[in-house]
């Protein structure tokens, strides 16, 4: 059973017992691969636009079977969009403690409160 409180996301597309969970070692690998100061932006955008490169890199750092990091990445199932969303959720849970959809909704709500006329006709 997945534990959202430690950032786990179920990944049954890969088989029984698979989860996606980033840890500090995985984040360090992503920082090394994509640059330590802008990796978060790159990974967020890469997963959001469903880039195979970023999905593969993220899964290499975060895919687990029975709570152990997978040494050899299995074939990534298609379509890629559901896998990208799960990776993005795991990334947001690790960094912010919230899944991507909740984080996005909170951000939009804050923006709306800071600019109450946004989206209205003058």
Q: What is the pTM of this model?
A: 0.84
Q: What is the pLDDT of residues 82-116, one digit of tens each?
A: 999 999 999 999 989 998 889 888 888 888 888 77
Burial class for 41, CB neighbours closer than 10 Å (0-12, 13-18, 19+): exposed
Q: Give residue 48's pLDDT band: very low, low, confident or very high (50, 70, 90).
A: confident
Contact in structure between 107 and 114 (CB atoms under 8 Å) = no
What pLDDT score does 78 carry? 93
Domain boundaries, the chain: 4-114
Number of H helices, E strands in the chain: 5, 4
What pLDDT score does 44 carry? 80
Q: What is the pLDDT of residues 52-74, one digit of tens each?
A: 999 999 999 999 999 999 999 99
């Amino acid at each position: 059973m997945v534990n959202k409180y430690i950032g786990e996301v179920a990944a049954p597309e890969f088989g029984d017992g698979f989860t996606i969970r980033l840890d500090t070692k995985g984040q360090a690998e992503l920082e090394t691969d994509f640059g330590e100061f802008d990796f978060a932006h790159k990974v967020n955008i890469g997963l959001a636009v469903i880039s195979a490169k970023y999905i593969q890199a993220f899964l290499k750092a975060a895919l687990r079977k029975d709570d152990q990091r997978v040494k050899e990445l299995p074939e990534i199932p298609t379509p890629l969009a559901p896998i990208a969303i799960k990776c993005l959720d795991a990334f947001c849970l690790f960094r912010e403690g919230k899944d991507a959809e909740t984080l996005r909704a909170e951000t939009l709500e804050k923006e709306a409160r800071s600019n109450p006329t946004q989206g209205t006709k003058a």
